[in-house]
Amino acid sequence: MNKITNHMPTAELQAIDAAHHMHPFTANDELAKHGARVITRADGVTLTDSEGEQILDAMAGLWCVNIGYGRDELAEVAARQMKELPYYNTFFMSTHVPAIALAQKLAELAPGDLNHVFFASGGSEANDTNIRLVRRYWDLMGKPDKKVIISRKNAYHGTSMGSASLGGMQGMHAQGGMPIPDIVHIGQPYWYLEGGDMSPEEFGLMRARELEQKIDELGEGRVAAFIAEPIQGAGGVIIPPDSYWPEVRRICAERDILFIADEVITGFGRTGEWFGSQHYDLSPDIMTVAKGLSSGYAPIGGSLVSDKVAAVIGREEFTHGYTYSGHPVAAAVALENLRILEEERIVDHVRDEAAPYLAEKWHQLADHPFVGETTIVGMMASLALTADKSVRKPFKASPGTVGYMTRERCFGNNLIMRHVADRMIVAPPLVMTKSDIDTLFERAVKSLDEAYKDVKEAGLL
């Protein structure tokens, strides 16, 4: 068999890929007809594909390449760690230096008293840990009936049976018997789609109070925790109305339940603070992290745990753990990534420079006849496509049709933007310069113009 390399013709790579590789969240038969885009290299904020196209990655991979591509320091650390200690576990009374150092660093960076970390390989695994952590916590507290976890419709918390059950994605629940028992979902603070005639502030309060109502309906004695992303990412970059989080905070403070902030996307500088919990002044008992923890250079995630919860969990054996919990190479890479984020003041760059400039440009897109609203916090932004902006009118097509058409126009213009239904999303690497943002904006405008024309011609307005 020939060795497969970057230099093979694209069509050949695509054919082998289609024959053997099952892609995540993909209709593989459909993909096989088109052929997957083959990415061969990346540097900074730019991907190169097998045709030599230079593509601006306004999604930072899957919201994860916070420090940008091509940082040799991380490769060097990984190689050094692989030679010194490529693997050892942290079970059976063992540990190693990368896990120790990363745990200490995370305790230092995390807000409040989140001084403990349980490592995983990504966000889904970490959220599975969280399900077990909160139920175990209440068991040990002598309240074994407190098992139910309240989450939100259209939340994304991962793809394993546990984490996808926490998530509120109908399409996922429809495939494979989810949610698992004792996970329930309340409404999301998505004013644009669901707010009707209410003001955003009224709507935000109403959706926050669904948490209180759900706790009362179930009985506080049955509720273990509430889990939420500070800003829903995969749900469409849903930035809640200003009234939402203060009200949730009030409810959590009055009720004896744990709060889990899923910061897999909002962590490590994305909002212009180290964590989204700082942006919204939240005090989670547990925080899920992954993605930006290593800027995607190595698979690693974890649950950051408060002193209060860790003290209880630590009393007895917690019968949980992954082969790769605290993997030394991944931990060493994450630590180096955090060093770069800190020493290069990348979070300050987001807050003071990149995010304000991106916001200025992004909000200019609101003038486009195709765009119903633009929203942004830090370096995560979305816009709603609409058939008539005066009434937030949907298109004459199933939701997502127009979003998909627009995404394809973006690809055609060498810009990676994602669509969720008929919202377009960006979450670029945090290191974007003003000139990168100008390029993003020019390509976005061109793509929106083209897609709008397509949509008009197809009679979908």
Using CB under 6 A as the binding criterion, the count of chain residues that bind ligand PMP stands at: 16
Q: Contact with ligand PMP (CB under 6 A): which of 157, 214, 407, 423?
A: 157
> Which region among 154-162, 250-258, 403-411, 412-420 touches ligand PMP (by CB under 6 A)?
154-162
Inter-residue contact 167 to 155 (CB < 8 Å): yes
- Lookup result for tokens 């009985």: 219
Measured distance CA(401)–CA(134) in Å, rounded? 39
Q: Is 132 exposed, middle or buried (0-12, 13-18, 19+ CB in 10 A)?
A: middle
DSSP for residue 329: H
User: CB under 8 Å to 47, separation ≥6 — which residues?
Assistant: 39, 41, 54, 55, 57, 69, 416
Contact region for ligand PMP (CB under 6 A) — 99-107, 153-161, 168-176, 403-411? 153-161
- Residue 122 in the binding site for ligand PMP (CB under 6 A): yes
| Order of all β-strands in the sheet with 423-426 | 371-377, 380-385, 423-426, 418-420
The dihedral over CA atoms of 24, 333, 63, 183, expressed in degrees to the nearest 10, equals 70
User: Minimal CA–CA distance to 327: which of 90, 61, 80?
Assistant: 90
Q: Which of 378, 375, 374, 376 is nearest to 355 (CA)?
A: 378
Stretch that binds ligand PMP, among 200-208, 262-270, 322-330, 356-364 (CB under 6 A): 262-270
Q: Which two tokens stand for residue 179?
A: 């949610």
**Interaction residues for ligand PMP, span 43-72 (CB under 6 A):** 62
Nearer to ligand PMP, 124 or 295 (CB): 124
Taking CB under 6 A as the criterion, the residue among 68, 123, 241, 269 binding ligand PMP is: 123
Nearest residue to 375 via CA among 171, 169, 152, 193: 193
Q: Which residues contact 109 (CB under 8 A, 6 or more apart)?
A: 274, 338
Q: Does 279 bind ligand PMP (CB under 6 A)?
A: no
The residues in 164-223 that bind ligand PMP, with binding defined as CB under 6 A, are none
Q: What is the DSSP letter of 354?
A: I
- Which of 307, 279, 303 has the alpha carbon at shortest distance from 290? 303
Which of 60, 193, 239, 265 touches ligand PMP (CB under 6 A)?
265
Contact in structure between 419 and 400 (CB atoms under 8 Å) = yes
Residue 350 binds to ligand PMP (criterion: CB under 6 A): no
Indicate the SS3 state at residue 383: strand
Tell me if 267 contacts ligand PMP by CB under 6 A: no
C-beta nearest to ligand PMP: residue: 123
Instruction: Provide the token pair at 339.
Output: 């060093």
Phi, psi of 25 (to 5 degrees): 45, 50
What is the x/- site pattern for ligand PMP, positions 79-98, by CB under 6 A?
Answer: --------------------
When binding is defined by CB under 6 A, the residue of 264, 329, 402, 430 that contacts ligand PMP is 264
Instruction: Measure the CA–CA gap between 219 and 443, rounded to whole angstroms.
Output: 52
Segment contacting ligand PMP (CB under 6 A): 97-105, 121-129, 309-317, 383-391?
121-129
- Binding segment for ligand PMP (CB under 6 A), chosen from 257-265, 321-329, 364-372, 379-387, is 257-265
With contacts defined by CB under 6 A, name the span among 87-95, 108-116, 156-164, 183-191 that binds ligand PMP: 156-164
Closest separation in Å from C-beta 297 to ligand PMP:
13
What's the distance, CA 457 to chain centroid?
35
Instruction: Tell me: does residue 382 bind ligand PMP (CB under 6 A).
Output: no
Q: Which is nearer to ligand PMP, 204 or 296 (CB)?
A: 296
Query: Residue 419 Cβ, how far from ligand PMP at the closest point, in Å?
Result: 15
Site mask for ligand PMP (CB under 6 A), range 287-306, x = bound: ---x----------x-----
Choose, by CB under 6 A, the member of 50, 124, 303, 386 that binds ligand PMP: 124
Q: 186-200 as b/e, with b when 16 or more CB fall inside 10 Å?
A: bbbbbbbbbbeeeeb
Stretch that binds ligand PMP, among 1-9, 246-254, 258-266, 376-384 (CB under 6 A): 258-266
Applying CB under 6 A, which residues contact ligand PMP? 62, 122-124, 127, 156-158, 229, 233-234, 262, 264-265, 290, 301
